[in-house]
Chains A and B, each alone.
Chain A
Amino acid sequence: MKRVAVYVYPLATLVGILAVWELASRLGEIPRYILPAPSGIAARFYALHALIVKESLFTLEATLLGFGLSVLIGVPLGMALVSSRAFNRAVYPLLIGSQVVPKVAVAPVFLVWFGFGLLSKVMITFLIAFFPILISAVVGLQSTELEKLYVARAAGASELQLFRLVRLPHALPSIFGGMKVSITLAVVGALVGEFVAAENGIGRVLLSASGNMDTELLFAGIFALVVIGVVLFLLMEVLERLVLPWHISYRPSKETL
């Protein structure tokens, strides 16, 4: 029963909010262009679903490419930072410091560098999604217990073997944690990319809907982004369970909460 309750309570809250919203916009004085009713948004979504799905795929493409690039660069860079003391000293403080730069502000620069289109979108996505993966890789790789290394080292393990057999698998849960943060940030990155440097994607839909005061379409677009974010996050969860079957059980079970 408790398992069901986990879903029932938030769902009931959500339905309640939607009902009040619907009622408020039907009875109240709020004009449709300020806050359209949920039913109106749903109708608009359905009417334009072909367009929304098509544009969503563009956004999804940029999100996944930017995220993939973040993993491909973030994890090896984390490894390098942990492996080489000199490299770490030279680069790590700057990487941390670089986070003070508002990343969205760099988007117009990327437009100049990479031009209008997919490449700019992907690079902006990468810029925003990459940092959590790097940090989680560094933290995970550095946190291996000394005795776990001792056991392998006493058996004669080389540095490479220590890395492959102990440090890296030990770091995977942390890396997955970073990837889950990163994948939701990647959606934001793709959207910023579309605001600045693209002629397609949900970002473009939002801009033109805003220009036309088409608030129903605006909300329909936001809903599509929510769906993309949730689906990607859940996919990461599934992937994590497949890759780390031993780790899930560390978490307190929902029954005990």
Chain B
Amino acid sequence: MELVDVSKQYATADGPLRALERVSLSIAEGEFVSIVGPSGCGKSTLMLIAAGLVPPSAGSVHVGGREVHGPYGNVGVVFQDATLYEWRRVLDNVLLPAQIQGLDLERARTRARELLELVGLGGFESKYPFQLSGGMRQRVALCRALVHDPALLLMDEPFGALDALTRDQMNLELQALWQAHRKTVLFITHSISEAVLLSDRVIVMSPRPGRIGASIDIRLPRPRTLDFEDTPEFGRYAREIRSLFQSWGLLKAGA
């Protein structure tokens, strides 16, 4: 997946708002890339553009070597809010992309069950979303993003609304899922430790207009456990990212 010189402006009452400025980004197949940045740096917009849901004002989006000009289907998306369809049972929620794409529903159903099993939701197939906890809903959303076996997985602060404990757990599950399926992942977060824990590469975005401030390769072995967050290497990466935020005045050093 590749973004070339992507810019985005929104027209507002106070004149044009520059959300993104000449963002170029290339993610290799099977690579896990995180974007961290302060709120309002346009990282959510970036994800919508990458999914083909919002057209860029300038620049282009390429997936699998081809330029895309709209939704292209070969992608799974997860938002901060699980955005499950309340009227569909868990299994039917997971099946929606397969249904939209007219895939063989019997096979999709088998795959959906496997995915649900993998995230510990076996036996919950016929529950309605309101019967699930926040973490469970987000697991369902994750299964839904994977059911049609897309090449690309785009996640916008998927665990941002969960409590810290559930969030740690979800990070581990996501890592396991990713190691099993090796999707190309673009993961947007405002948590530095989450980004370092999960990623092959962390991209740090500067405040508005959003620009890429730095790209940091995370060379840590996998699978990474939560204990990893206490190691000096992990701390070094986290400090490196934090110091970037400090240099932009977003965090006060020593305060």
Contact = CB atoms under 8 A, between A and B. Distances in A.
Interface of A: 145, 147-148, 150-157, 161, 165-166, 169-170, 172, 244-247, 249-250
B100 A165 contact: yes
Contacts of A172: 87
A148 B87 contact: no
A156 to B, nearest CB: 3
Residue with the greatest number of chain B CB neighbours at <10 A, chosen from A145, A147, A148, A155: A155
A157 to B, nearest CB: 5
Given A154-B53, A155-B97, A155-B100, A169 B77 contact: no
A154 B71 contact: yes
Nearest to B53: A150
B207 to A, nearest CB: 24
Q: Closest 10 CB pairs between A and B?
A: A156-B73, A155-B97, A246-B128, A147-B83, A169-B87, A154-B77, A157-B100, A155-B100, A154-B51, A147-B79
Interface in B130-177: 130-131, 144, 148, 154
Nearest to B51: A154
Interface string B52-84: 110000000000000000011101110101010
A77 B100 CA distance: 26
A154 B83 CA distance: 13
Contacts, number: 72
Contact of A155 (B79, B85, B101, B131): B101
A166 B83 CA distance: 11
A19 to B, nearest CB: 44
A246 B87 contact: yes
Contacts of B99: 165
B53 A166 contact: no
Interface in B14-72: 48, 51-53, 71-72
30 contacts: A147-B83, A148-B85, A150-B51, A150-B53, A150-B77, A150-B79, A150-B83, A151-B96, A152-B100, A153-B71, A154-B51, A154-B53, A154-B75, A155-B73, A155-B76, A155-B97, A155-B101, A156-B100, A156-B101, A157-B100, A165-B85, A165-B100, A169-B87, A170-B85, A172-B87, A245-B128, A246-B86, A246-B129, A249-B128, A249-B131
A154 B76 CA distance: 7
A161 B128 CA distance: 21
Contacts of A170: 85, 87
Contacts of B52: 154
Given A154-B71, A154-B76, A169-B85, 5 more contacts: A150-B48, A151-B77, A161-B100, A170-B85, A246-B130
Nearest to B98: A155
A153 B76 CA distance: 10
A68 B52 CA distance: 42
Given A150-B48, A165-B96, A165-B100, A155 B148 contact: yes
Interface in B72-120: 72-73, 75-77, 79, 81, 83, 85-88, 96-97, 99-101
A156 B148 CA distance: 11
Residue with the greatest number of chain B CB neighbours at <10 A, chosen from A150, A157, A247: A150
B81 A147 contact: yes
Residue with the greatest number of chain A CB neighbours at <10 A, chosen from B77, B99, B100: B100
B180 to A, nearest CB: 21
B87 A151 contact: no
A145 B100 contact: no
A247 B96 contact: no
B174 to A, nearest CB: 18
Nearest to B154: A154
Residue with the greatest number of chain B CB neighbours at <10 A, chosen from A147, A151, A165, A250: A151
Residue with the greatest number of chain B CB neighbours at <10 A, chosen from A154, A156, A161, A250: A154
